[in-house]
Amino acid sequence: MAETLTVVDKLKTEFRLTDKTMAHIALDFKTAMLTALAKGSSPLKMLPSYLPLPSGKEAGLYLALDFGGTNIRVLLVELFGDGCYTVHAHRQTPLKDSHGRYDYTSPQTTAEELFAFIAGQIGKIRPSGKDILLGHTFSFPSRQTTLSDAYLITWTKELQTAGVENRNVTDLLTAALKHHRLTRIHPIAVINDTVGTLLTSAYTNPHTDIGSICGTGHNTAYLEPSSSTLINMESGNFNQLPLTSYDAALDAASEKPGAQLLEKCVAGHYLGELLRLIVIEMVESGLLPEMQQNKNVRVPYAITAKELSLLITDRATELNGGLSSRERIILKEIAILLRTRSAQLTAATFYGALCHIDPNHESRHHIAIDGSLFEKMPGYADALTATLNAFDGRLAGKVSIGLTKGGSGIGAAIAAAIAGK
């Protein structure tokens, strides 16, 4: 017991971030933003979206395709031009069948097969007999040349479909729609989900100038004051971070070692895996004997962020079902450490961004966030807000953080409306 506690104390020293460390991270993040804006070498990609903030008056009926990971969503959205909108229809489809019948995310699938499947899903929602503009939220690092042309730089979130990297995803989508005889659907805008979240919040709240996803993946966009353009930072690739041996092990075994280090520390896709790597080490040192037989502990990525949430509230899960209360307490402590570090690192990057946007903290700012961690993980939103406020007393009352649920999809419709003007 004493030995296990020592291990937990050691984990605390590794995963807890001091105020000084967080201040360093925020400053390094701001410097990385400035370097990238000046076209220097930086972990941040700072990709221009070719979009300003919306006026709130955008109106009309649009199709939105939300392609963010292993699920795609197609929505038929009506914008009313007064900050209000309604979703007339929506359809969510996995790109990977849970019974193993198909998998459009694997390296054995081609870009054409993937986009043919997506076009088929769009066809099931489109209003018949009418021309309609489509906004596409494509939530992967993409170099844009115009509002409607985006080239995938690299897959993230462990997607591996062959032949999409370096290709124009709008061309791929347009060709697939044509193949399905869906020629009345016109892809006109492509955006990142962080930009979509920012647009959706800004449609009703003019103080919004930061949009972020804290979910399966992680990334942040903001309104660059010098150009009034929304910029997708691809902040998940930020790498000036105090990494633990578990982060290094996760990274080494990932699809792209060395890439997306911030995302690997903070995003839902990875938090369960970090917990599993810690637990494995403890099991192998004989410290968690009851977990020896637990099959999830041996399977990479078998532990999910949802499981972490259940551990935090200590409700029975498959993972802790047969455990003693001592072991449950330990798992809960580890889950809380991982959640808190994720929120702290994210808050540090927000503070870095705010210091660039408004160095003297004079104006009001709203940070719009979408994603399962922020929405659902117990204590996550509170830890994020508290950490951000603790950076600087001047932020209180000036900076707000809130959930913009479904912002990535609605944002695609708003982008299509801006593009169609």
Distance CA 373, CA 377 (A): 5
**Amino acid in the structure at residue 377:** M
- Binding segment for ligand BGC (CB under 6 A), chosen from 96-104, 135-143, 272-280, 345-353, is 135-143
200 contacts ligand BGC (rule: CB under 6 A)? no
- Which of 68, 196, 268, 406 touches ligand BGC by CB under 6 A? 68
Smallest distance from ligand BGC to CB 153, Å: 9
Q: How many residues does the chain have?
A: 421
- Binding segment for ligand BGC (CB under 6 A), chosen from 52-60, 117-125, 187-195, 356-364, is 187-195
- Which of 49, 144, 156, 320 touches ligand BGC by CB under 6 A? 156
Contact mark string toward ligand BGC, 230..259, x via CB under 6 A: ----x-x-----------------------
Smallest distance from ligand BGC to CB 218, Å: 6
192 contacts ligand BGC (rule: CB under 6 A)? yes
Q: What is the DSSP letter of 17?
A: P
- Which of 28, 58, 66, 193 touches ligand BGC by CB under 6 A? 193
- Binding segment for ligand BGC (CB under 6 A), chosen from 30-38, 120-128, 138-146, 245-253, is 138-146
Distance CA 11, CA 305 (A): 19
Q: Report the run of H or E that residue 344 belongs to, with start and end.
A: helix 325-357
- Binding segment for ligand BGC (CB under 6 A), chosen from 110-118, 133-141, 143-151, 319-327, is 133-141
Structure tokens, 168: 């124009």
CB 202 within 8 A of CB 226: no
- DSSP codes joined into one string, 163-226: T-TTSBHHHHHHHHHHHTT-TTEEEEEEE-HHHHHHHHHHHH-TTEEEEEEESSSEEEEEEETT
Structure tokens, 376: 């659902």
Smallest distance from ligand BGC to CB 98, Å: 21
Q: Kindly tell me which of 126 and 157 has the beta carbon lying closer to ligand BGC.
A: 157
Place of tokens 């359809």: 91
- Which of 247, 263, 273, 307 touches ligand BGC by CB under 6 A? 263
Smallest distance from ligand BGC to CB 158, Å: 9
Distance CA 91, CA 1 (A): 50
Smallest distance from ligand BGC to CB 371, Å: 7
Q: Kindly tell me which of 256 and 394 has the beta carbon lying closer to ligand BGC.
A: 256
Which residues lie below 8 Å from residue 331, measured CB to CB, with a gap of 6+?
275, 279, 311, 319, 320, 323
CB 190 within 8 A of CB 147: yes
217 contacts ligand BGC (rule: CB under 6 A)? yes
- Binding segment for ligand BGC (CB under 6 A), chosen from 18-26, 72-80, 179-187, 190-198, is 190-198
194 contacts ligand BGC (rule: CB under 6 A)? yes
The 71-80 sheet, strands edge to edge = 85-94, 71-80, 59-67, 132-138, 185-191
| Interface positions with ligand BGC (CB under 6 A) | 68, 139-141, 156-157, 192-194, 213, 217-219, 234, 236, 263
